[in-house]
A and B are shown apart, each in its own frame.
Chain A
Amino acid sequence: MTRQIRIALRNCGVIDPENINDYIATGGYDALAKAIFSMSQDDVIDTMKKSGLRGRGGAGFPTGIKWETARKAKSDKKYVLCNADEGDPGAFMDRSVLEGDPHCVLEAMAICGYAIGASEGIIYVRAEYPLAVKRLQIAIDQAKELGLFGENILGSGFSFDIRLYFGAGAFVCGEETSLMNSVQGGRGEPRLKPPFPANVGLWDKPTNINNVETYANVTQIVRNGWEWYRQFGTEKSAGTKVFALAGKVNNVGLVEVPMGTTLREIIYDIGGGIQHHKKFKSAQTGGPSGGCIPAEHLDTPIDYESLIALGSMMGSGGMIVMDEDDCMVGIAKFYLTFTAEESCGKCTPCRIGNMRLLEILTRITEGDGTEDDLKKLESLGQTIKDTALCGLGQSSPNPILSTLHYFYDEYMAHVDEKRCPSGTCTKLVGYKILPEKCTGCTVCARNCPVNCISGERKKTHVIDQKRCIKCGVCFSKCPFKAIIRG
């Protein structure tokens, strides 16, 4: 069995997150003390650079280089931001870290503040995470009371304060420049990069912004040294990654594995395989910005580069497992519906392009698609990727492009034969009772939620196709397999 290695999640489920003494007993706040008392600002940045830690929010930018840029920027005021605006459907890594070990994020932000020369930190957390918010606030209050935040931390002369800012739930606010606009009280809309936040960030001041999980790795790197951290993971992607395993997998939950672990190990060894012994079809990584990885790539070692090569991306770590019953066109449509709705509307490719993609997909799932539509999806998707303003639009066509690439035959079945192979596109599915097999047991009629099946006991039943909502209940309930889908 593949073993999980826990660095970011090391305290989750172990300590009482509402008791700072538990965290301190694990060696908590030693990393901060070590940094301010025995390391120079450049030492800390050097350690981060050598550790090979890369942004866990999705893009995988080297953390040390980000910190160095913010350190070099000249300004009277700098900020440390934490991106806790976790918005990918099915992803809950950041929530679990904040609920289970809030102090490790706070401590890391203070270390970052020391390294780049900032005295103020802000955590941008979703208001929809009430428990995380509550535990963060308790953690901040307890740490302040012990003099671990605020003026003159541990008598060192270094001061750092942290406060919370609540996000109202817009997906685009997880994009760093939109997030900063939102903190400033503006609309959650992205701005052009460059200039990057490390130079011109919050209130136009140099700002370092990292994701929750990135910070969760920092304290251990500072405490144990970069060489220690380097022993985990691969050459280009050091350390571990937390994945939120969801979908049709037996062991839904959080896993933390070294970079370079294969999808098969995560889904089968740790995740316990597919529910009800069904066949694996695809794993969706990276949420609405990622893609679907098919069965033939189950043995690819996962790191930032390999996922991009497969047409997906690491993203924040959501991993949704799909089985033979999932329609890949339907999945692409699900994500597009999400991104089209969450597009902020500032740039044209994303605002209009995604809407057009969604219309085409809807057409295909309703049986009105043509082969030409598939070409349009491809070229329009690529255009949006190349021209959108921020990460949302630059990645929103990924679910379509990757499913087109790996599951072209499913798209073809929809447009060519007007058939949905997995039987989930309701407009393309119909249910029929086979008279030769029907015994008139009445099970289907009794279970039909819209009462559209009629027939006398012990006589053949009939489905009223006009009233049928194609829910498939009769299909799964019939004890004699007398109902067919087609």
Chain B
Amino acid sequence: MKLQSWDELKKYRDDTKDETSLLSDDSKTTILAVGEATCGIAAGAKEVADALQAEIEKQKLSNVKIIATGCYGCCYAEPMVEVRQPGKDSVYYGYVTPDIAKDIVSKHVANNEILQGNVLNMEVLIP
């Protein structure tokens, strides 16, 4: 499909926005964003993503989606996982191992229990 005008681009944006990883407040999806830039992959992000997926299947969770993003800048704390839920502030986890990934799904996503010891605090302003 080729968009033919600026209005068509805007309409396309509206039509597809629910399928994107940028959640609207009324969305029902939880997004698990894994940093998969070179730094993340080198630190084991693929294994972390696999562990997240396995645990989602094990817990039979629906409406949870894993996406691969780029580098969030905290290369020292890779692999990183961001839990993005509609209407809530994102929670960023650093130094994630496959075991921690499992806990992120079974505790945080399934039971709303944030793993405080693994949370990465940072202040970034996107103007």
Of the listed stretches B19-27, B49-57, B103-111, chain A binds B19-27
Of chain B, the residue at the smallest CB distance from A224 is B127
| CB of A65 within 8 Å of the partner chain | no
For residue B22, which residues in chain A have a CB less than 8 angstroms away from its CB? 14-15, 22, 25-26
Of the candidates A96, A232, A250, the one whose C-beta lies within 8 Å of that of B76 is A250
Q: Is the CB of A21 within 8 A of B19?
A: yes
In B28-43, the 8 Å CB interface with A consists of 33, 35, 37-39, 41
Asked whether, in the complex, the Cβ of B3 is within 8 Å of the Cβ of A147, the reply is: yes
- Supposing A4-B123, A5-B125 touch, asked if A101 and B70 sit within 8 A by C-beta, the answer is yes
Decide yes or no: A154 and B70 within 8 Å by CB, A6-B124, A30-B9 being known contacts: no
Given A16-B68, A131-B38, A252-B75: A154 and B8 within 8 A (CB)?
A: yes
Q: Once the chains bind, are A14 and B69 in contact (CB under 8 Å)?
A: yes
Closest to A5 in B: B125
Interface residues of B in 101-123 (CB under 8 A from A): 122-123
Take A3-B125, A25-B22, A147-B3 as given contacts and tell me if A13 and B73 are in contact as well, using a CB distance cutoff of 8 Å.
yes
> Is A230 interfacial (CB-CB < 8 Å)?
no
Q: Which residues of B contact A129 (CB under 8 A)?
A: 38
Determine if B17 and A25 form an interchain contact, defined as CB atoms under 8 angstroms apart: yes
Q: How many residues of A contact B (CB 8 A)?
A: 49
Report the bound CA distance from A131 to B69 in whole Å.
Answer: 12
User: Does A256 belong to the interface (CB within 8 Å)?
Assistant: yes
A451 within 8 A of B: no
- Does B60 belong to the interface (CB within 8 Å)? no
**How many pairs of A and B residues are in contact by the CB < 8 Å rule?**
144
Within 8 A of B (CB), among A240-257: 250-256
Contact partner, B13, options A5, A17, A24, A148, Cβ 8 Å: A24
Point out which of A24, A92, A255 has the most chain B C-beta atoms below 10 A from its C-beta.
A24
Q: Judging by beta carbons under 8 Å apart, are B5 and A154 in contact?
A: yes
A85 to B35, CA, bound (A): 23
Say yes or no: B21 contacts A95, CB within 8 Å: no
Give the nearest-CB partner of A135 in chain B: B70
- Give the docked Cα–Cα distance between A410 and B16 (Å): 61
Assess whether A13 is in contact with B20, with CB atoms less than 8 Å apart.
no
**The residue from A22, A131, A155 contacting B21, defined by CB atoms under 8 A apart:** A22
CA distance A198 to B116 in the complex (A): 54
The number of residues on chain B lying at the interface, defined by a beta carbon within 8 Å of a beta carbon of chain A, is: 41
Give the distance in Å from the alpha carbon of A22 to the alpha carbon of B21 in the complex: 6
Q: Is A18 a contact partner of B74 (Cβ separation < 8 A)?
A: no
User: What are the residues of chain A within 8 A of B12 when measuring CB–CB?
Assistant: 24, 146
Q: Which of A1-38 contact B (CB under 8 A)?
A: 1, 3-7, 9-19, 21-22, 24-26, 29-30, 33, 37
Question: CB-CB contacts of A140-184 with B at 8 A, as 1s and 0s?
Answer: 000001111000001100000000000000000000000000000
8 A Cβ contacts from B54-99 to A: 67-77, 80, 82
A100 at the interface (CB under 8 A from B): yes
Chain B CB count within 10 A is highest, among A4, A10, A25, A255, for A25
Do residues B3 and A96 form an inter-chain contact, with CB atoms below 8 A?
no
Residue among B5, B21, B67, B72 making CB contact with A12, cutoff 8 Å: B72
Q: A4-B125, A21-B16, A253-B74 are in contact. Are A16 and B1 (CB under 8 A)?
A: no
| Residues of chain A in range 71-107 having any CB-CB distance to chain B below 8 Å | 92, 95-96, 99-101
B15 to chain A, nearest CB (A): 9
Which residue in B1, B6, B122 is a CB contact (below 8 Å) of A33? B6
Given A22-B22, A256-B73, is A154 in contact with B4 using a C-beta cutoff of 8 Å?
A: yes
Within the assembled complex, what's the spacing in Å between the Cα atoms of A10 and B13?
Answer: 19
Contact B70 A100, beta carbon cutoff 8 Å: yes
Question: Closest approach, in angstroms, between the C-beta of A169 and any C-beta of chain B?
Answer: 16
8 Å CB contact of B1 from A92, A145, A232, A253: A145
Q: A3-B123, A146-B1, A154-B8 are in contact. Are A100 and B19 (CB under 8 A)?
A: no
CB within 8 Å for A253 and B38 given contacts A13-B33, A25-B17: no
B110, chain A: closest CB distance, angstroms = 23
Chain B nearest Cβ from A291, distance in angstroms: 24
Residues of B within 8 A of A12 (CB): 37, 69-73
Are B69 and A253 neighbours in the complex by a CB distance under 8 Å?
no
Cβ of A100 and Cβ of B41 under 8 Å apart? no
Please tell me if the beta carbons of A251 and B74 are within 8 angstroms of each other in the complex: yes
Are B73 and A255 neighbours in the complex by a CB distance under 8 Å? yes
Residue of B nearest to A229 (CB): B127
- Closest-by-CB residue of B relative to A252 is B76
List B contacts of A18 (CB < 8 A). Answer: 68
B residues at A contact (CB < 8 Å) = 1-6, 8-9, 12-13, 16-17, 19-22, 33, 35, 37-39, 41, 67-77, 80, 82, 122-127
19 A-B pairs with C-beta separation under 8 A? A3-B125, A4-B122, A4-B125, A12-B37, A13-B80, A17-B70, A18-B68, A19-B20, A25-B17, A25-B22, A29-B9, A33-B9, A95-B37, A96-B39, A96-B70, A147-B4, A250-B76, A253-B71, A253-B76
Chain A residues near B (Cβ < 8 Å): 1, 3-7, 9-19, 21-22, 24-26, 29-30, 33, 37, 92, 95-96, 99-101, 129, 131, 145-148, 154-155, 228, 232, 250-256
Known A-B contacts: A14-B72, A252-B76. Give 4 more (CB < 8 A).
A11-B70, A13-B33, A14-B126, A16-B67
